[in-house]
Amino acid sequence: MTHNAIQRLLLKRFALAAGTYALALLLLWLAFFTGHYDAPLNSVAIGSALVVISQAALFALFYSGCNLRFSDPSLTEAQVLLGLGWQTWLIAHLGDARGAFLVFYVLILLFGLFHLSRRAFIRCAVLVFFSFSTITLWEGYHFQLPNPALALLQVCVLLIVLVWLVLYARYVQVSRQRMRQRRFALQAHQDTLRGMMRQLEDLVATDELTGLFNRRHFLRLASRELNAMDADVVHGLALIDLDHFKRINDIHGHAAGDQVLQAFAGVAGACLRDGDVLARYGGEEFVVLLPDCDAERLTACCERLRIAFTDVELVGLNVRNLSLSAGMTLLELGDDLDDALQRADQALYRAKADGRNRCAAAWENLDA
């Protein structure tokens, strides 16, 4: 999540806490006007003002983004301790209504249930029990408890609730940790699956022997290039056939033929530009698409590739006179890919008929 998203979430949590404070203040004034709050009016007013000031300070801290400098940007423990302090001050001035306001201790601890560590939550729970018990013992010591049995019952009830909350918080934290681990494990499995899918796509698109694109993937890429062509752009297309490849297989074996195919793939990769598309079209036949390429550049590229292939020397094999023939054509806006491949194939047939080891262009046949 981004810092802005985190801040929005934290502001929403703060708004929830501030709303709880507003309800507590409303109940405080209700307790005062009904005679259940044992303090003068100025004490209630000062206490309410301090609550409002503390919440305004926290809002300024969140709104300015200064909270992000802390290890816990939500400031959960600080807010819980502040709430417990105010609640204890409130409890200390309540008489018979003290038991009704004990529920706010639970609400404050629930606020930190998902964000406090186990030790911090236990510290807060111990502080609650110690604070309430101290108030009760102090009043009992000064004989100010109107009903000591009820006060003892309240302490016992609070103890049981706090123990339950600590155990439940532990259960929630362990469950969240397990869910987090499972989420991480699921994410790892998804990453592995995506990697396997990419490998599968590569296998589907790639010729296993030469490492070049296969025919199906080339047709997909070439169709995409044709659909994205501009009116003033011309692409070059060439079909390339390795000369006398069947004789190489018959004399030297299929392993030697495979090595010749791999050698051509290496030479072609070195002769082409970034963005040019080279694929194994089938058997000893290859196809190359040169985007944004005129007749002169296409011819120069095919001739450079033809000459480079004749200079190939295969390690451990006595294969001589390697050569290739190429048929070239140009693609313009509106051209059909099948028609272009047919033109290139006819030009290739003419190059082989004229003695092989040469490049023939479809536009030369038109000029003739």
How buried is 259 (Cβ within 10 angstroms: 0-12 exposed, 13-18 middle, 19+ buried)? buried
Bridge partners, 328 (sequence order): 238, 361
- Encode burial over 264-300: b for 16+ CB neighbours within 10 A, e otherwise: bbebbeebbeeebbbbbbeebbbbbbbbebebeebbe
Residues 6+ apart with CB under 8 A from 188: none
Q: Kindly name the residue from 139, 208, 225, 284 that is annotated as catalytic.
A: 284
How buried is 124 (Cβ within 10 angstroms: 0-12 exposed, 13-18 middle, 19+ buried)? buried
Is 364 a residue of the active site?
A: no
Contact status, residue 231 vs residue 333, Cβ threshold 8 Å: yes
Q: Which two tokens stand for residue 78?
A: 């600080």
Residues 6+ apart with CB under 8 A from 37: 28, 31, 44, 93, 94, 95, 97
**How far, CA to CA in Å, does 213 sit from each of 70, 261, 277, 290?**
53, 13, 8, 15
- Residues annotated as catalytic are 284
